[in-house]
Structure 1
Amino acid sequence: MGEEGGGRSCGTTRELQKLKQQAMEYYRENDVPRRLEELLNSTFYLQPADVYGHLANCFSKLAKPPTICKVVGKNVLDGLGLPTLQVEIFCTVQNFPKNICSVVISTPFKVHENALPELVEAEELERSDAVSTAVRWVNETITKELQGLAPSNQAEVDQVLRTFFESKVQEDKEGKGLEKSLEDSTVPTPSPLTPPLPPPPPAKKKGQKQGRKDTLTKKPMIPPEPVEPILCGSMAIGAVSLAVAKTSAVLGNNPLYLNIALLKHHQDQPAKLTIPLLMVSLVSCGKSSPGKLNLMKEVICVPRPGLTAKQGVDMLLEIQKHINKTIEMSPPPKPETKKAHNGGNRGQSKGKYEVMMGTYKSAAEMVDLYVELINKFPSIIALIDPFRKEDSEQWDSTYNALGSKCYIIAGTASKSISKLLEDGNIGSLRCSGLIVKHTNQTTMSDLVEMTNLIDSKKHIAVFGSAEGESSDDSLVDLAVGLGVRFIKLGGLSRGERVTKYNRLFTIEEELVQNGTLGFNEEHTFSYLNEEAEKAAMAGELPEPLEPIFATEVVEESAKT
Structure 2
Amino acid sequence: MGEEGGGRSCGTTRELQKLKQQALEYYQENDVPRRLEELLNSTFYLQPADVYGHLANCFSKLAKPPTICKVVGKNVLDGLGLPTLQVEIFCTIQNFPKNICSVVIATHFEVHENDSWELAEAEEAERLEAVSTAVQWVNETITEELQGLGPSSQAEVDQVLRTFFESKVQEDKERKELEKVLEDSTVPTPFPLMPPSPPPPPAKKKGQKQGRKDTLPEKPIVPPDPVEPVLCGSMAIGAVSLAVAKTSAILGNSPLYLNIAALKHRQGMAMLLEIQKHINRTIEVLPPLKAETKKGHNGGKKGQQQITGKLSHLGCLTISYDTIEQPLLLIQGICANLGLEMGTNLHLAIDCAAHELMDYSRGKYEVMMGTHKSAAEMVDLYVDLINKFPSIIALIDPLRKEDSEQWDSIYNALGSRCYIIAGTASKSISKLLEDGNISIPKSSGLIIKHTNQTTMSDLVEITNLIDRKKHVTVFGSTEGESSDDSLVDLAVGLGVRFIKLGGLSRGERVSKYNRLLTIEEELVQNGRLGFNEEHSFYLNEEAEKATEALEAAAALAGELPEAPQPIFPTEVVEESART
TM-score (norm 1): 0.83
Query: In the TM superposition, what whole-angstrom CA distance separates every residue of 1:453-495 from its partner, at most 9, and x where no partner exists?
Result: 1111111111111121011100110011000111111111000
Cα displacement (A) at 1:3: 5.0
CA distance in 2, matches of 1:43, 1:330: 77
- Partner residue in 2 for 1:502: 514
Whether 1:100 aligns to 2:85 is no
Conserved? CA contact 1:473–1:503, under 8 Å: yes
Q: Which amino acid aligns with 2:307?
A: S
User: What is the letter of the counterpart of residue 196 of structure 1?
Assistant: P
Tell me if the contact between 2:500 and 2:574 (Cα under 8 Å) persists in the aligned partners.
no
1:334 Cα deviation from its structure 2 partner = 9.8
SS of residue matched to 1:72 = strand
CA-CA distance at 1:314 after TM superposition: 8.8
Could you report, residue by residue, the CA deviation over 1:508-537 in whole angstroms, capped at 9, with x for unpaired residues?
222223222222452022x43222234557
- Structure 2 distance, partners of 1:140, 1:367, is 51
Residue type at the aligned position of 1:458: K
**What does 1:281-292 align with in structure 2 at a 5 Å threshold?**
none
Deviates more, 1:41-50 or 1:104-113: 41-50
Report SS of the residue matched to 1:429.
coil
Residue 501 of structure 2: SS of its match in structure 1? Answer: strand
Query: Counterparts of 2:408 and 2:419 in 1: how far apart (Å)?
Result: 13
**Range with greater deviation from structure 2 (56-65 or 421-430):** 421-430
Report the alpha carbon displacement of residue 555 of structure 1 after superposing the two structures with TM.
Answer: 6.8
Identify the residue that residue 412 of structure 2 maps to in structure 1: 400
Q: For residues 83-142 of structure 1, what are the alpha-carbon distances to aligned partners after superposition, in whole Å with 9 as ceiling and x for unaligned?
A: 000001111111111111110000000010111111111110110010000001111110
On the 8 A contact 1:102/1:243 being kept in 2, the answer is yes
Ranked by relative contact order (alpha carbons within 8 Å, sequence separation 6 or more), the top structure is: 1
Please tell me the residue identity of whatever aligns with 2:79. Answer: G
- 1:199 maps to 2:194: no
1:29 alignment partner in structure 2: 29
State the one-letter code of the partner of 1:388. Answer: R
Residue of structure 2 equivalent to 1:162 = 162
Q: 1:411 aligns with which of 418, 423, 432?
A: 423
Check 1:13–1:348 CA distance in 2 against 1; reply closer, same or farther (3 A cut): closer
What amino acid maps onto 1:378 in structure 2?
P
> Could you tell me which residue of structure 1 aligns to residue 345 of structure 2?
none
Q: Percent identical across equivalent pairs? A: 80
Which stretches in structure 1 are left out of the alignment for 5+ residues? 276-304, 336-345, 540-547
Deviations 1:15-62 (A, max 9, x none): 322221121111122222222112212466322222211111110111
8 Å contact from structure 1 (residues 380, 551) kept in 2: no
Q: Deviations over 1:268-308 (max 9, x none)?
A: 53544999xxxxxxxxxxxxxxxxxxxxxxxxxxxxx9547
Equivalent residue, structure 1, for 2:127: 127
Give the whole-Å Cα distance in 2 for the aligned partners of 1:210 and 1:11: 124
One-letter amino acid matched to 1:330: I
Stretch deviating more after TM superposition (485-494 or 16-25): 16-25
- Give the conservation status (yes or no) of the 8 Å contact 2:297–2:306: no
The alpha-carbon distance between structure 1 residues 43 and 71, as it changes in their structure 2 partners (threshold 3 A), is: closer
Q: Secondary structure at the match of 2:85?
A: strand
1:297 corresponding residue in structure 2: none
Q: Residue 350 of structure 1: CA displacement?
A: 2.0
Query: Helix, strand or coil: the match of 1:166?
Result: helix
CA distance, structure 2, for counterparts of residue 273 and residue 115 of structure 1: 54
| Distance in 2, Cα, partners of 1:140 & 1:386 | 43
Partner of 1:377: 389
For 2:307, the equivalent position in structure 1 comes to: 330
CA RMSD across the alignment: 3.2
SS of residue in 2 equivalent to 1:492: coil
Alignment partners' CA distance in 1, 2:273 and 2:239: 28
Task: Report what 2:540 is aligned to.
Answer: 529
Aligned to 1:138: 138
- Is the 1:273–1:481 contact (alpha carbons within 8 Å) kept by the matching residues of 2? no
Conserved 8 A contact 2:501-2:573: no
Distance in 1, matches of 2:239 and 2:540, equals 37
Looking at structure 2, the residues matched to 233 and 273 of structure 1 have their Cα atoms a distance apart, in angstroms, of: 43
SS in 1 for 2:13: helix
1:76-91 correspondence runs (5 A): 76-91=76-91
Equivalent pair of 1:384/1:554 in contact (CA under 8 Å): no
One-letter identity of the residue aligned with 1:46? L
2:462 is the alignment partner of 1:485 = no
Which sections of structure 2, spanning at least 5 residues, go unmatched? 310-319, 323-357, 551-570
